[in-house]
């Protein structure tokens, strides 16, 4: 039996049952760890499902300094739709700002990730999730980008 105080390390490659396997998602999928994070992001696993080992939230600070920049590379310029991945919850912001290649839209994180687009995008672009003006927790778990074929 394990002592209560003992910390159990999960073996490398172990997948938590509530986690999303990025290999099963369509398109290009970045995890939060692939982003360049600025400010005060806090790791959590309290809500599920989530991608990879965890997700991050901003502590509901709407401090305007906490943001994450996902640099996305796609095979060719074209039309893509994308969504920010996060476990939805009632305490999330309903107006989280997401800036894609310079254009800002607001997403409702109380509900599961809605697709944004299709957008005409270059081979490399940035998806920034910030917390300026947010009215609840801003949460990042990953970004999914899917080509829109005619
Ligand atoms: Ca994640």
**Domains, the chain, ranges and CATH?**
19-147 (2.60.120.260)
Q: What are the angstrom distances between the C-alpha of 52 and each of 17, 19, 56, 58, 90?
A: 11, 6, 11, 18, 22
Instruction: Measure the N-to-C terminal CA separation of the chain; round to a whole number of Å.
Output: 58
Q: How buried is residue 119: exposed, middle or buried, by Cβ count under 10 Å (0-12/13-18/19+)?
A: middle
- 87-146 pLDDT, tens digit each: 999 999 999 999 999 999 999 999 987 899 999 999 999 999 999 999 999 999 999 999
Length of the chain: 150
Say how many Å lie between the CA of residue 42 and the centre of ligand 1.
12
Say how many Å lie between the CA of residue 7 and the centre of ligand 1.
22
**Whether residue 150 has pLDDT greater than 90:** no
Say how many Å lie between the CA of residue 150 and the centre of ligand 1.
31
């Amino acid at each position: 039996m394990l002592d209560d105080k003992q910390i159990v390390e999960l073996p490398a490659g172990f997948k938590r049952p509530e986690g999303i396997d990025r290999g099963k998602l369509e398109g290009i999928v970045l995890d939060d760890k692939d982003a360049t994070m600025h400010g005060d992001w806090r790791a959590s696993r309290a809500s599920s499902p989530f991608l990879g080992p965890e997700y991050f939230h901003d502590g509901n600070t709407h401090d305007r300094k906490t943001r994450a920049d996902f640099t996305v590379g796609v095979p060719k310029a074209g039309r893509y739709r994308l969504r920010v991945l996060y476990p939805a919850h009632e305490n999330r912001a309903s107006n989280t700002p997401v800036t894609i290649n310079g254009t800002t839209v607001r997403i409702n994180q109380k509900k599961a990730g809605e697709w944004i687009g299709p957008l005409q995008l270059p081979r490399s672009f940035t998806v920034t999730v910030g917390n300026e003006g947010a009215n609840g927790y801003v949460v990042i778990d990953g970004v999914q980008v899917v080509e829109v074929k005619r």
